[in-house]
Amino acid sequence: MRPTTTRRWLRVAATLTLVALALSVWSLLWPSVVSIMIAMSVAQVLGVAAIGTFAVVLALELRLDGAVRGALGLRRDGGAGAGASREARRSDGP
């Protein structure tokens, strides 16, 4: 996923969350039939959509991160991976 796409989807998730928060606060400070019903339905749907969007973005980021590390033969701790080790063994031969 390109960085601009990641940022765009994170902005979508943030905006959805902000709207959900606003609706929830409305029901807390000015409780009425309509505000409570909206907070317990629309706001919760928006919140779940935001968390889902965020989770998908994170999952794609992690997968991309893993693919890049795999291609470079790097371990997670920053050291040389399996490919690099093979190279090292070959150079240290008898």
Partner 1 sequence: MNTLSLLDPGVWVALACFTPAGAILAWFLIASPPLTPATKLLLLLGIAILPLGGAVSTTYVGFEATTERHFCGGCHVMTPYTEDAETRTSTSLASRHSRNRMFGDQSCYRCHADYGMFGLAVTKLGGLGHVYHHYLGGYRAMPVDRFLDTIHIAKPFPSSTCTRCHSTETPRFEAVRDHQGALEALRVGELRCTGAGCHGPAHPFSKHRPGRVDVEPTVTATSGGAR
- Contacting positions for partner 1 (CB under 8 A): 3, 6-7, 10-11, 13-15, 17-18, 20-21, 24-25, 27-33, 36-37, 39-40, 43-44, 47, 50-51, 54-55, 58, 61
57 CB contacts (<8 Å, ≥6 apart)? 1, 6, 9, 10, 13
Can you tell me whether residue 1 is helix, strand or coil? coil
Q: What is the distance between the alpha carbons of residues 56 and 84, in angstroms, rounded to a whole number?
A: 32
Nearest distance, CB of residue 87 and partner 1, angstroms: 29
Query: Is there a contact between 51 and 40 (Cβ–Cβ < 8 Å)?
Result: no
Taking the complex as a whole, the smallest distance from the CB of residue 51 to partner 1 amounts, in Å, to: 5
Q: Which C-beta is closer to partner 1: that of 2 or that of 89? A: 2
Element (DSSP H or E) covering residue 7: helix 3-29
Closest CB 86 distance from partner 1, rounded Å: 30
Question: Considering beta carbons, is residue 10 or 84 the nearer one to partner 1?
Answer: 10
